[in-house]
Structure 1
Amino acid sequence: MANSDLETQRGIYVSIIVGSLVFGAQICLYVQSFRKIFYILFGAILLVLAAVGGGTNMQLGQLMWIQYPDYPGGAPAYFADHSSDWYEVWGTGCVSFANIMGDGLLLYRCYIIYNSNIQVVSFPFFILLASAAMVVITIVQSAVPQTTLFSGLPIHFAIAWISLTVGFNVIVTTLICYRLLSFYKATHKTLPSEMTNTYTSISAMLLESAAPFTISGIVYVIAFAIESPTQQVFAGIWGVMVSLSPQFIITRVAMGIAWNKDTVGRFTDTLAFRVDTSGTFFSDVERSQIIVVPSNKESGEDLV
């Protein structure tokens, strides 16, 4: 077996193990999100999609390494000949749909954090639409017999899809991090430290902006574009992060420590009280950073 083929097989094996471990973490997060029907349904769909995506990879590994170890040409030939089998296409479709769901949730989070400003999210929204279109084309092309998602014509569509979704996540992650940093700079000397630490800390920025998913996507698209044997490892990591990152956000919301209109309303109410009692005044720029959304006492029922 050639070294590149051996590295590919190792990559598939490692990705299955990593995927199984992260899937266990996702189950734990999902259980903690049992608070509202939206969290339960959204998280359950992500969990099912992740289970199907990981299960199809396990099935391919079982057939390739255990059931047909003497396949002509070995495991690399089996992988090339059966990557377009129905269950593999089904698994790719599940991961792709989870990706669209996660990106949609992230875009809505950005929309909320930016005071329901459509102009801010309009450009990322069109990128999301283009990414969804490329997902459909990629799945259709990968279903053609004797093709694989990692070679031939499908890889070009897959690179376009992954590049679009990674680009989308880079933009939205940057927007959210910038907004939270701006809010922190405007309030860390005014609001209690426990409040700013909860909603504007580094961990809050990383999870609210889905930064781990964005970083794993950047690494994966580079390995994918240069057709590195390690792409299988990063594909597995990126594939599980597709559903894990949104689950982090849902868990934070369910625990009451994520940004929503009610949360920001409490921030602005507290800030207004402190301004009234301390006589502290802010510039127009500082006020624009502080008041993210109008205070709305009835907004606590917002899903995210």
Structure 2
Amino acid sequence: MLAYIGRRISIALLILFGSTYLTYQLAAYSGDPLAGIRESQDPKKEQIMAELTKFYQLDVPPPARYFLWLQKALGFATGTPDFGTSAIMRLPVIDQIAEAIPVTIRLVTAATILAIVLGITFGVLSAIRQYSRLDYSLTFLSFLLYSLPIFWVAVMLKEYMAIQFNLFLVDPKINLVANGITSALLAVVLAGFVSGTRRRVLITLVSSFAIFMSLFYVLSLTNWFRTPGLGIWGVAFLGLATSVGLTHVFAGLHNRKALYAGIASVAVGVAVYQPFGTIVNETGNFGILMLMGALMLSVSYFVGYFFS
């Protein structure tokens, strides 16, 4: 066991060394840190360039310069780890790492929880509807997402879900082409969750496409993306639709006990929507929010127990 752990640690260290070396070389060859100063009209620019060249050891080729940086980073040079100073921000790199660590931990935690919830949910659904259209759709989607390169997906999400979405919020209008493509993709996904004949699936596909097209058009027309909100009627409609949809997928609409339990849970949620919203707006306490979430889970459990 100790030998196995030792091998895994050794492999991890080699991967860490290789990744840092490659990242260092890409950063070193991707641009000139002196380009901005070289184009300036400052009469002391030659002196400044000489000082920066000496400070960052730019006269040393990047492959050899990495090992000089690694020596400082491991603390062999001064006795304390020194990751250097950012050439752009002019701030210690360790301070920027410390600033990014909390965000990274939150992202990793959220991704882990989301992966567990979605993984278990998809697994249960595939087991319940084995060899059905839903099973094949979930299996295809799972293998597709699993096979995608993580770093590529991260870059795409950052580009389109963060940067482009912020630019979209400046003028939140969905054009006809984007509306059609988005509605078609959502309709295909929704049709994959429907069992039955091809006619039923085709009807679901067409009707879902029309509903999504109309919904996005109305949301764009009313400027909803800039000032989003559901209100009590939106919560009631969305909760009821979700309840019926999940009942259909997990138990089937013929299971009246499951259907009534879901509708009752939605009714309780709608009833406490206004009081809970007032408490959250006035306190803004995360602990209160978690307590209310636990309370709603308890209510859902007792509702399910009552209808079982």
Q: Could you tell me the TM-score, scaled by structure 2's length?
A: 0.30
Q: Could you tell me the TM-score, scaled by structure 1's length?
A: 0.31
**Greater relative contact order structure (CA < 8 Å, 6+ sep):** 1
Please say which structure displays the higher CA radius of gyration.
2
